[in-house]
Amino acid sequence: MVVDQNFLKVKKIFFFIFLFLISTNVSFAENLNFKKIVDLNDPWGSTFINNNKLLITEKSGKIKLINLDSKKISEVKHDLNYLVHGQGGLLDILFKDSFVYISYSENRGSEKTSTSIAKAKFNEKNLTFKNIFQANPPINSGYHFGSRLAIKDNFLFASAGERGEGMIAQDPTKHPGSIIRINIDGSIPKDNPKFLDKSDWLPEIYQIGIRNPQGLTLSPFDGKIYLSNHGAKGGDWFGEAKKGENYGWKILGWGGTNYSGSKIGPKWKPGFTKAIQYWVPSIAASAITIYKGKEFSEWNGHALITSLKDQSLRKLIFNDLSNVKEDIIFKNKIGRIRDIQVHPDNGKIYFLGKGALWLMEKN
């Protein structure tokens, strides 16, 4: 039998490419060490208070202070009027300059809730919060609250999910399905879109057309705000928050479909913000960060994307938007990953996995 030599050469090339891809992904995981720090009850958000203390929310309603040296867990009392409903409860938490900011599903009465944001002076025993934002209208739904927080200068950015209401994300007279930008005291920035060229927008809205944005972060390298979005059946993405723009939900499907299998819309079309990276099928994108630190210094400036369903950590090199490179750092190590934090001193990475706080470092 005569064998086509060209065919054998092509087959051999593909075989070595396959081996290279496998070894690339495995080599990351083999060089990593994972440690469970403490067990928690459905943890959602986390923030460093200093080099050895983390403040953590549990969706079920508690705020925990974790001492990373002693592994001691203490509960911090609070007065938030929250309602645990479906995906709602206590959500993200952020410490900055002696204050704590928190997003949560606020009980607005008659089983209606909103993605709300409150602020408190930090205290290790008790937090007395004051609301600085409420997403209106309140909605009777347990779906798609978002919600992450990021601070740039004196601006607080927050992501508010569309609560399962679809096209509400295209209505700038309603908050759900948008990126919010307010001042850290709750007042409205004078250069928000409403005061420039979007007179019909609510004053707090910075960007619209977003489904369930569970990742939001400030890059320490370019000063931009980036977000991740949890799509429908397929169609997760990572992109930049851009003033006055529209990511297109539910006109666009970002490559996904409704859970019934029916089509939503195109992946993208002109006139809408284009994401930096899409995942089809969905990985269930969750929290993100732009890495800066010592432990994984070779990752500086790269985006780290956590996922729920896929249970993976992905790294994106996106300085060239025409050639975004993605690596799977690990998969199926710590379960569903809800949050990610980089230690402010040593650069080691902490995750909120399923029911626990985890540490990832080099072997």
Domain residue ranges of the chain, discontinuous segments joined by +: 7-362
The residues, any chain, with a CB within 8 Å of residue 45's CB and separated by 6 or more, are 56, 57, 90, 91, 92, 93, 94, 102, 103, 148, 338, 339, 352
Residue 150 confidence (pLDDT): 98
- Quick check: 350 and 304 in contact, CB under 8 A? no
Tokens of 119: 């602020």
pLDDT at 354: 84
* DSSP codes of every residue in 190-211: TTSGGGTT-TTS-TTEEEE--S
Give the contacts of 15 (CB within 8 A, at least 6 positions apart): none
Q: What is the pTM of this model?
A: 0.91
Q: What is the pLDDT of residues 297-351, one digit of tens each?
A: 999 999 999 999 999 999 999 999 999 999 999 999 999 999 999 999 999 999 9
**Cβ count near 346 (within 10 Å):** 11
Q: What is the DSSP string of 120-152?
A: EE--SSEE--EEEEE-SS-BS--S--EEEEEEE
Backbone angles phi, psi at 7, to 5 degrees: -60, -45
**Segments in the chain below pLDDT 50:** 1-3, 10, 13-27
Q: 7-362 has which CATH code? A: 2.120.10.30
Evaluate the CA torsion angle 118, 121, 126, 128 in order and state its sign: negative
- What whole-number distance in Å separates Cα of residue 327 and Cα of residue 293? 19
